[in-house]
């Protein structure tokens, strides 16, 4: 029985979503400090703590969304919604996870602790109210990705690059609006019972938002690769060679969003598509070749 409960808690922690926290490593990569083993170890610990904090948020969010999740075709299978996990157990797990993350963050680095605490408070506000506010809900999600990058800069001991923040913000807005579109399609007309904010969205509106942030993402990354600051930092203009991979990744994700509409979430959509995964690997290798 105890092993079963632990299994359900781990499932509710959504470890597959920890891939989002890899944004913590981006400052280390783009500051040319990836080969510094001491910093790499520190950022890796920060990644684990951030993952625990995000899992705590997922558990708390499942508690708040319990009734709506019961009406969702996919979310009703989650341990809490399917009554395999009791609410008291979910509360306890959430409190333990966030406590370990916060204490660990405080011991690891003061600046990182502030960022992690900001992430926890922001997501608490998101779960309580902000996720019900149209547009702001996606912007809060985007802010979460920016905080991941800021956590990485704090641990790596570097100043946050304006371009890195802008690119992170635009790509996360892109993913957020695409996710809202998928949720409306998957809801099959039953949006009111599954996520309150979806009542305020429509497919035409989301298509417009996706078009805007798609253009912003591509342009901001392209400008970043050729900016004088970037060229001076890396001593080369060759980062422009990574643009085709970014273009393909954006276009491929749009293709998946509009043709694989029944996929459950962003991570499932990406991991389940070999061409997309291969493109990410190729982009990362090209970045390493150019920078290092």
- Which pLDDT tens digits describe the chain residue by residue (292 residues)? 678 878 888 888 998 889 999 999 999 999 889 889 999 999 999 999 999 999 999 999 888 877 777 776 677 778 877 888 888 888 899 999 999 999 999 999 999 999 999 999 999 999 888 888 999 999 999 999 999 999 999 999 888 888 989 999 999 999 999 989 888 887 766 665 567 788 888 999 999 999 999 999 999 999 999 999 899 888 899 999 999 999 999 999 999 988 875 565 777 778 888 999 999 999 999 999 999 8
Going by the DSSP 8-state scheme, the letter that residue 18 receives in this structure is: G
Residue 179 near residue 187, CB atoms below 8 Å: no
Q: What is the pLDDT of residue 117?
A: 96
The DSSP code sequence of 240-254 is GGGHHHHHHHHHHHH
Query: Considering the entire predicted model, what is its pTM?
Result: 0.90
Closest residue by Cα to residue 14 from 120, 97, 129: 97
Task: Kindly state the greatest CA–CA separation across the chain.
Answer: 60
Closest residue by Cα to residue 277 from 253, 243, 247: 253
Residue 46 near residue 157, CB atoms below 8 Å: no
Q: What is the pLDDT of residue 122?
A: 95
SS3 166: helix
Closest residue by Cα to residue 50 from 86, 18, 91, 13: 18
Strands (E), 23-139: none
Closest residue by Cα to residue 250 from 180, 170, 181: 170
Distances in Å between the Cα of 240 and the Cα atoms of 29, 96, 161, 237, 245 are 16, 45, 17, 6, 10
C-alpha to C-alpha distance for 235 and 290, rounded to whole angstroms: 10
Residue 142 near residue 169, CB atoms below 8 Å: yes
Three-state SS string across 168-186, please? HHHHHHHHHHHHHHHHHHH
C-alpha to C-alpha distance for 32 and 191, rounded to whole angstroms: 46
Distances in Å between the Cα of 35 and the Cα atoms of 101, 111, 271, 292 are 26, 22, 27, 9
C-alpha to C-alpha distance for 208 and 29, rounded to whole angstroms: 33
Q: What is the pLDDT of residue 261?
A: 58
Closest residue by Cα to residue 163 from 35, 6, 27, 12: 27
Q: What is the pLDDT of residue 86?
A: 86
Q: What is the pLDDT of residue 189?
A: 61
| Residue 114 neighbours by CB under 8 Å, 6+ apart | 154
């Amino acid at each position: 029985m105890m092993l079963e409960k632990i299994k359900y808690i781990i499932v509710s922690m959504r470890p597959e979503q920890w891939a989002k926290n890899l944004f913590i490593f981006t400052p280390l990569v783009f500051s040319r400090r990836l080969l510094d083993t001491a910093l790499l170890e520190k950022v890796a610990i920060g990644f684990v703590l951030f993952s625990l904090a995000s899992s705590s948020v997922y558990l708390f969010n499942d508690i708040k969304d319990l009734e709506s999740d019961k009406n969702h075709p996919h979310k009703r299978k989650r341990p809490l919604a399917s009554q395999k996990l009791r609410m008291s157990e979910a509360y306890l797990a959430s409190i333990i996870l966030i406590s370990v993350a916060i204490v660990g963050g405080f011991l690891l680095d003061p600046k990182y602790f502030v960022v992690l605490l900001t992430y926890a408070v922001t997501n608490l506000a998101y779960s309580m109210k902000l996720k019900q506010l149209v547009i702001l809900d996606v912007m809060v999600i985007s802010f979460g990705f920016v905080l991941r990058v800021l956590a990485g800069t704090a641990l790596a001991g570097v100043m946050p690059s304006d371009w890195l923040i802008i690119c992170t913000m635009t790509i996360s807005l892109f993913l957020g609006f695409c996710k809202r579109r998928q949720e409306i399609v998957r809801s099959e007309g039953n949006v009111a019972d599954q996520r309150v904010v979806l009542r305020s969205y429509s497919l035409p509106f989301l298509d417009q938002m996706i078009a805007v942030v798609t253009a912003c993402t591509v342009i901001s990354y392209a400008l970043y690769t050729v900016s004088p600051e970037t060229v001076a930092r890396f001593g080369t203009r060759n980062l422009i060679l990574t643009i085709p991979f970014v273009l393909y990744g954006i276009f491929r994700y749009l293709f998946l969003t509009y043709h694989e509409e029944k996929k459950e979430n962003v991570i499932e959509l990406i991991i389940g598509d070999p061409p997309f995964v291969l493109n990410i690997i190729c982009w990362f290798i090209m970045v390493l070749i150019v920078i290092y």
